[in-house]
């Protein structure tokens, strides 16, 4: 994958870390606007294409040399991956590692350097009622910002292990793709949402938020008011009718889920080593 040899370029910034390529912490002032100023440039739109279609999702830059964390279902089966920065500039990327059981993937932006790497927080310190900000690319609308609170902790969310491309559920369920399609299916408490998860599934504990998440937010950032990433947005319930409804008719009802960032951090070494769990 052409990894950089500069250790600082490969460094993942966790709480307390500093770097010239880290987010603009000086912008943080306790407001949503401050969080956006600090973190927005660390979130990218991801377009993943294959012979069966195109998936649109989001990702979070975690190293200065272009490592980006996202959901596995955004990029699974992709033959070509393009990222779009907050500035509108585009670049190509390649898959480094995947973990379908956790719905996580790591991609690498080709030729990248000195990018604004997000600071990864500590999801074990998150409390119900904490204010959060979500940044992603719903319906292909790059770097859209919404806000809300953490509604619950440790929700057991079940999602398909099969690739989104194979299921025709593309990038948070076909968000931003050329045609209509189902939302990315998931289940919790024994109930199915956005369709059928199928027979091959995986379950993870998630943060629940009422911040508005829509098709295309998959892989995007859930951020605390200190500008730290506390989760990777991964599933949402859409109050749209089933069967042939377009993604544009699907709207958030304030029931979204994010993979806790501590789960991501625990998986990073495996992903960076090219793991394909």
CATH value at residue 66: 2.40.10.10
Q: Are residues 44 and 76 in the same domain?
A: yes
Q: Residues 202, 101: contact at Cβ < 8 Å?
A: yes
On whether both 256 and 128 belong to a single domain, the answer is yes
Q: What's the predicted TM-score (pTM) here?
A: 0.82
Longest CA–CA span in the chain (Å) reads: 50
Domain count, the chain: 2
Spatial distance between the Cα atoms of 234 and 103, rounded to a whole number of angstroms = 8
Claim to verify: residue 147 and residue 257 sit in the same structural domain:
yes
Calculate the dihedral angle through the C-alpha atoms of 37, 87, 69, 221, rounding to the nearest 10 degrees: 40
Distance CA 193, CA 236 (A): 9
Q: Are residues 128 and 254 in the same domain?
A: yes
Task: Say yes or no: 212 and 157 in one domain.
Answer: yes
Same domain for 94 and 163, yes or no, is no
Task: Kindly state whether residues 222 and 115 are assigned to the same domain.
Answer: no
**Active-site annotation, residues:** 73, 103, 218
- Residues 136 and 257 grouped into a single domain: yes
Q: Are residues 83 and 151 located together in one domain of the fold?
A: no
What distance in Å separates the CA atoms of residue 257 and residue 268, rounded to the nearest whole number? 20
pLDDT string in tens for the chain (277-residue length): 444 445 556 777 776 443 434 567 788 999 999 999 999 999 999 999 988 888 899 999 999 999 999 999 999 999 999 999 999 999 999 999 999 989 999 999 999 999 999 999 999 999 999 999 999 999 889 999 999 999 999 998 877 775 544 443 334 343 333 333 335 566 556 666 555 555 667 788 999 999 999 889 999 999 999 999 999 999 887 665 344 444 444 556 788 999 999 999 999 999 999 988 7
Residue 142 included in any domain: yes
In a domain, 2, yes or no: no
Parent domain of 81: 7-119+265-272
Residues 80 and 182 in one domain: no
């Amino acid at each position: 994958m052409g990894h950089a040899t500069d250790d600082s370029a490969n460094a993942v910034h966790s709480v307390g870390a500093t770097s010239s390529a880290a987010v603009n912490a000086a912008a943080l002032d306790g407001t949503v606007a401050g969080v956006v100023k600090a973190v927005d440039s660390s979130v990218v739109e991801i377009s993943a294409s294959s012979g069966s279609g195109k998936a649109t999702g989001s990702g979070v830059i975690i190293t200065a040399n272009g490592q980006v964390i996202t959901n596995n279902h955004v990029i699974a089966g992709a033959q070509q991956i393009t990222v779009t920065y907050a500035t509108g500039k585009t670049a190509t990327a390649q898959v480094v590692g995947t973990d379908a059981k956790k719905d996580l993937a790591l991609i690498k932006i080709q030729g990248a350097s000195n990018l604004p790497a997000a600071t990864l927080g500590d999801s074990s310190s998150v409390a119900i009622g904490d204010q959060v900000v979500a940044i992603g690319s719903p319906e292909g609308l790059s770097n859209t910002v919404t806000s809300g609170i953490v509604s619950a902790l440790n929700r057991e969310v079940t999602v398909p292990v099969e690739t989104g491309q194979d299921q025709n559920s593309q990038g948070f369920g076909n968000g931003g793709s050329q045609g209509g399609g189902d939302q990315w299916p998931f289940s919790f408490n024994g109930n199915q949402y956005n369709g059928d998860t199928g027979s091959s599934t995986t379950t993870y504990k998630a943060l629940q938020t009422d911040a508005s998440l829509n098709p295309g937010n998959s892989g995007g950032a859930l951020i605390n008011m200190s500008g730290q990433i506390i989760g990777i947005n991964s599933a949402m319930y859409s109050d749209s009718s089933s069967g042939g409804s377009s993604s544009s008719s699907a709207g958030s009802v304030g029931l979204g889920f994010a993979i806790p960032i501590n789960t991501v951090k625990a998986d990073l070494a495996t992903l960076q080593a090219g793991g394909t769990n």
